[in-house]
Amino acid sequence: MSPRRSGKLAVSKRRELEVVAAVAREEAVQFHVTSALEFIRLGAERVTPERMLDIYLRLHGLTSAHGELLTYRVLAALGERAPAEARRFVVGEPKPPADARSLLASIRRRLRGRVNHELRRWIELATGATQAGLVALHVRHALRFARELADTHSVAQASALYVEMAGVPAALEDPLYIMLLDRLAAEELPKLAPAAGGAAEGVALHPPRTPRHRRAG
């Protein structure tokens, strides 16, 4: 099996890449903290910070340990910026009734009419911007994997390894791979001079026909 297909890593190389992946994970967490704080600000005077953070976690698929870590980080940041807002997470506001219909009515009252439409649109736009920012962040670190492993791994293998080691969400795997290919293509593909008279003139739509010779009678 050729080295490019084996996908095996030397111990020293794996340790080096583990450091890169660890840095990427920490940057991703900090990126989420910053984005979540901005997200909470979108709902100011309309939706409680706690509710906005719940929405953020759900939209970005941050559950269990990841969601808990982000909640603590956001709480700490809020405590530094606005202690009163942080206390609302700890003390809590009056909880809505347990009845699911009452809860839905409460959310509708907070986001009804034009406020509902405006805030929903802001949430949609902010979510897309955050996802795009995460892709850019991961591409930057995945480039290190692709370059370090260029002699032994395909780009797809290097990308998959980065996804595994950096804990990239499944929803970002394909965009990450596509953008990684785009960045590497810009760096590595040969720069061809444009054909005279435009790019289209240098390309034949049909191969030239080979003239047939008649057999001698």
The pLDDT tens digits for 61-111 are 998 888 999 999 999 988 876 555 544 554 334 344 444 445 445 444 544
> Is residue 84, in this structure, part of any structural domain at all?
yes
Alpha-carbon gap, residue 25 to 60, rounded angstroms: 15
pLDDT digits 0-9 by tens, 154-167: 999 999 999 999 99
The reported pTM is: 0.73
> Is residue 205, in this structure, part of any structural domain at all?
no
Which of 77-116 are b and which e, b meaning 16 or more Cβ less than 10 Å from the residue's Cβ?
bbeeeeeebbeebeeeeeeeeeeeeeeeeeeeeebeeeee
> Is residue 10, in this structure, part of any structural domain at all?
no
Residue 141, CB half-sphere, CA atoms under 13 Å: how many? 27
Q: What is the DSSP letter of 170?
A: G
> Is residue 60, in this structure, part of any structural domain at all?
yes
Q: Which of 74, 67, 104, 75 is nearest to 91 (CA)?
A: 75
> Is residue 162, in this structure, part of any structural domain at all?
yes
> Is residue 163, in this structure, part of any structural domain at all?
yes
Provide the number of structural domains found in the chain: 1
Alpha-carbon gap, residue 83 to 22, rounded angstroms: 31
> Is residue 137, in this structure, part of any structural domain at all?
yes
Q: Which domain holds residue 157?
A: 15-94+111-188
Residue 207 region, left (φ>0) first, then alpha (ψ -120 to 50), else beta? beta
pLDDT digits 0-9 by tens, 98-147: 444 454 454 445 445 545 688 889 999 999 999 999 999 999 999 999 99
> Is residue 214, in this structure, part of any structural domain at all?
no
